[in-house]
Amino acid sequence: MIISPEDVEHVAKLARLSLEEGELERLTVELNSILTYMDQLRQVDTQAVEPTTHAMELFNVLRDDQVRPSMGVEEVLANAPRRFGDSFQVPRVIE
């Protein structure tokens, strides 16, 4: 077993997912099967190989720091699940 149920639980916590009844067992089986498949990557010698995170060459793109029109408050808040005045409202964080 590559990934244990305890690992799966830990990863779920990192990903801010709560697992329902039976989901932990199912995900453990599925992730193990997928990671076993990934194991074939070990056959590839990558010792002196630089990693590629992007297939095209990337350059910094800079622009002048000018004030430009942006989206209005009402538009920004239009999809808010809950708002308070001109703010997004979330449950109390500090007791």
Partner 1 sequence: MQLWELTMCQARELLDRREITSAELTQAFLDRIGLVEKRVRAFLTVAGQQALEQASEADRRLGAGERTPVLGIPLALKDVLCTRGLPTTCGSRILENFVPPYDATVVEWLRADGAVFLGKTNMDEFAMGSSTEHSAFGPTRNPWDLERIPGGSSGGSAAAVAAQECLAALGSDTGGSIRQPAACCGIVGMKPTYGRVSRYGLVAFASSLDQIGPMTKDVRDCALLLGAIAGHDPRDSTSVPLARPDYTKALNGELEGLRVGYLEEEEGVEPDVSRALGEALGVLESLGARLVPVKLPHMPYALPSYYLVAPAEASSNLARYDGVKYGFRCGEEGGLLEMYCCSRSKGFGQEVKRRIMLGTYALSAGYYDAYYRKACQVRTLLVGDFRQAFKLCDVIVSPTAPSTAFRLGERLQDPIQMYLSDYFTIPVNMAGLPALSVPCGLDGKGLPIGLQIIGAHFQEERILQVAYGFEQATGHHLRRPRL
Residues that bind partner 1 (CB under 8 A): 3, 7-8, 11-12, 14-20, 27, 30-31, 33-35, 37-38, 40-44, 46, 49-56, 58, 61, 63, 71, 75-76, 78-82, 88, 90-93
Residue 3 beta carbon to partner 1: minimum distance, rounded to whole angstroms: 7
Element holding 84 (H helix, E strand): strand 83-84
Residue 78 beta carbon to partner 1: minimum distance, rounded to whole angstroms: 6
Q: Is residue 88 a contact partner of residue 77, using CB atoms and an 8 Å limit? A: yes
Residue 25 beta carbon to partner 1: minimum distance, rounded to whole angstroms: 14
DSSP readout, 24-45?
A: HHHHHHHHHHHHHHHGGGGGS-
